[in-house]
Chain A
Amino acid sequence: MQETTANQVAGNATSSFTEHLQRDRPDLLPYNRDMPAAAAATAPLQVPHATTIVAMSYGGGVLMAGDRRATMGNVIASRHIEKVFPADRYSVLGIAGTAGIAIDLTRLFQVELEHYEKIEGTLLSLDGKANRLGAMIRGNLPMALQGLAVVPLFAGFDTTAGVGRLFSYDVTGGRYEEREHHTVGSGSVFARGALKKLWRPNLAEAEAVSVAVESLYDAADDDSATGGPDPVRQLWPVVYTVNRDGARRIPESELATVAGRIIEARSAERREA
Chain B
Amino acid sequence: MTQQFYVSPEQLMKDRADFARKGIARGRSVVVISCQDGIALVAENPSPSLHKIGEIYDKIAFAAVGKYNEFESLRQAGVRYADVRGYSYDREDVTARGLASVYAQSLGAVFTAEQKPFEVELAVAEVGPTPELDHLYRLTFDGSIADEHGFIVMGGQAERVSAVIAEGWRPSLRFAGAVRLATRGLASGPDPAAEQGEAGGTLPAKAVEVAVLDRQSETSRGFRRAFRRLNDSDITALLAEED
Contacts and interface: CB of A to CB of B under 8 A. Distances in A.
Contacts of A25: 84, 88
B86 interface: yes
B115 to A, nearest CB: 14
B51 A115 contact: no
Contacts of A28: 84, 87-88
Contacts of A115: 79-80, 83
B221 to A, nearest CB: 11
- The secondary-structure label for the interface of chain B is helix
Interface string A18-32: 001100110010000
A21 B84 contact: yes
Contacts of B130: none
B49 interface: yes
Contact of A121 (B49, B83, B84): B49
Interface residues of A, number: 14
A143 interface: no
Interface stretch (A106-114, A181-189, A207-215): A106-114
B79 A119 contact: yes
- The secondary-structure label for the interface of chain A is helix
Nearest to B88: A28
B54 interface: yes
A111 B86 contact: yes
B51 A17 contact: no
B56 interface: yes
B86 A119 contact: no
B79 A118 contact: yes
A126 to B, nearest CB: 20
Nearest to B225: A114
A198 to B, nearest CB: 30
B76 interface: yes
B55 A111 contact: no
A119 B82 CA distance: 12
Contacts of B55: 118
A33 to B, nearest CB: 15
Interface string B168-210: 0000000000000000000000000000000000000000000
A118 B56 contact: yes
A24 B80 CA distance: 11
A20 B80 contact: yes
Contacts of A119: 76, 79
Nearest to B57: A118
Contacts of B54: 118, 121
Interface in A165-193: none
A114 B91 CA distance: 13
Given A25-B88, A114-B83, A115-B80, 12 more contacts: A17-B80, A17-B87, A20-B84, A24-B84, A28-B87, A28-B88, A114-B225, A118-B54, A118-B79, A118-B83, A119-B76, A121-B51
19 contacts: A17-B80, A17-B83, A17-B87, A21-B87, A24-B84, A28-B84, A28-B88, A107-B87, A108-B87, A111-B83, A111-B86, A111-B87, A115-B79, A118-B56, A118-B79, A119-B76, A121-B49, A121-B51, A121-B54
